[in-house]
Structure 1
Amino acid sequence: MTIKLIAIGKTDHKQLESLIAEYIKRLGFYVKFDFEIIPDIKNAKNLSEAQQKDKEGKLILNKITTSDVVILLDENGKQYDSVGFSELLQKHMNSGIKQLIFVIGGPYGFSQEVYHRANGKLSLSKMTFSHQMIRLFFIEQLYRGFTILRNEPYHHR
C-alpha cells in the first residue's frame, strides 16, 4: 500500500521543510509514502471563498483515482489518540487497498465535491494549526503510528 499526503500550497519555512523531510525519510522504512503539494491558486485574492475552494477542489480531485481511499484532515473529523490512529492504519493496510490518501485543504477548507468524494475525515486536534505546521504534525503521527505497529520504542506507552 502507498500512503499519500496531498496539501495545498508550498511550505515557506526552511526549518519545517527540514523536519518534514526527516520524517518522510524515516517513513520510508515502513511504507511507500508520497507527499504532493498542489501550488497555491493564482490571484486567490480576487476570488471568493467559495470560488477558491472550488478551484482547489478540482485540483485535489484530479490527483485521486476511483480506487483510492481518501481521508480529509478536517477540524470536524474523528479524533484518535496515537494508538488508535495506528490501528486505523493497520485496518486500511489489511483491507488490501492500493493507495490511502490524506488531504490537507487550503485556508478555507474543502469544496462540497471533495467532501462528497472523501471516505472519511480526521482531526488532529480541536485546536487550529497553520496549514504548514499540520503537515509536520501529521507526518510525525504517521511515523509514530508505524513505530507503534512494530512495537518500537519511539512511542512510549
Structure 2
Amino acid sequence: MKIQVVAVGKLKERFWKEACDEYLKRLKGYAKVRVDEVPDCDPAKVGGEEGARTKEGRSILEKLPEHSHVILLDVGGRQLSSEGIAARVDALALSGVSEISFIVGGSGGVSQGVHDAADESMSFGKITLPHNLARVVLLEQIYRAFKISRGEPYHK
C-alpha cells in the first residue's frame, strides 16, 4: 500500500516535525508513506481567502497521482473511530486500491476543486484542529490503523 499525505504549508516548529517524523518512521514497516507539502498562501497577497484556497488548491491537485483514492480531511466529513479508519483502509485495499492520498488543507480550508476531486471526506470530529496538528493526528491514526488491522499491541 502506498499512502500519500498532501499538506498545505511547511512544518516550521521542531516539535511538529519531530512528531511527524516519528510516525513516518514507525510506518515504514507497514506501507510506503510520503508527505508532499504545498506552499501556503498569504490571503492578502492573492485576493483574499478564496484566492488563497484557489491557489493552494491548484498545488494540491497537481500532487495527486492519477489513480489514487483521495480522502479529504474536512470538519464536515464522515467521522470514524480508529477501528473505522482501519476497516476503511482494509476495505480499500481489498477492493484493489493500492494508493490512498489524504489531503490536509490550510488554515483557510480548501477550494471547491479539491472538494470535487476527493473520493470521500473524513473528519476527526467537530473540533477545529490547527492544520499542523491535524497532520500529526492523521499520521498517528494511519499508524494505529495498521496496528489494529494486524492485531498488534498499540491500540487500547
Class of the TM-score when normalised by the shorter of the 2 chains:
over 0.9
Question: Matched residues in 1 for 2:37 and 2:66: separation?
Answer: 20
SS at match of 1:133: helix
Question: Which secondary structure does the structure 1 equivalent of 2:23 belong to?
Answer: helix
How far the C-alpha of 1:98 sits from its partner, in A, is 3.0
2:61 alignment partner in structure 1: 61
SS of equivalent to 1:62: helix
CA separation in 2, counterparts of 1:52 and 1:15?
26
Aligned mates of 2:40, 2:57 — CA distance in 1: 12
Gaps of 5+ in 1: none
Q: What are the equivalent positions in structure 2 for 1:95-110 lying under 5 Å apart?
A: 95-110=95-110
Aligned to 1:44: 43
Deviation at 1:72, TM superposition (A): 0.4
Which residue of structure 1 lines up, in the alignment, with residue 91 of structure 2?
91
CA shift for structure 1 position 15: 1.2
The CA deviation at 1:39 is 1.8
Root-mean-square deviation (Å):
1.1
Give the corresponding residue for 2:113: 113
Other-structure match for 1:35: 35
Q: Shift of residue 10 of structure 1?
A: 0.7
The match for 2:20 is 20
Distance 2:144 2:138 in 1: 10
Instruction: Assess if the C-alpha contact under 8 Å between 2:73 and 2:103 holds in 1.
Output: yes
Q: TM-score, normalised by structure 2?
A: 0.95
Question: Are residues 1:9 and 2:9 paired?
Answer: yes
How far has the Cα of 1:66 moved from its partner?
A: 3.0
> Quick one: distance in 2 between partners of 1:126 and 1:81?
13
What's the offset of the Cα at 1:108? 1.5
Q: Report deviation, 1:45.
A: 2.0
Structure 1 residue 79 and structure 2 residue 83: aligned?
Answer: no
Runs of 4+ in 1 over 4 A off after TM superposition: none
2:155 paired with 1:155: yes
Are the aligned partners of 2:23 and 2:139 in contact in 1 as well (CA < 8 Å)?
A: yes
* Greater displacement, 11-20 / 139-148: 11-20
Instruction: For residue 114 of structure 2, give the secondary structure of its aligned residue in structure 1.
Output: helix
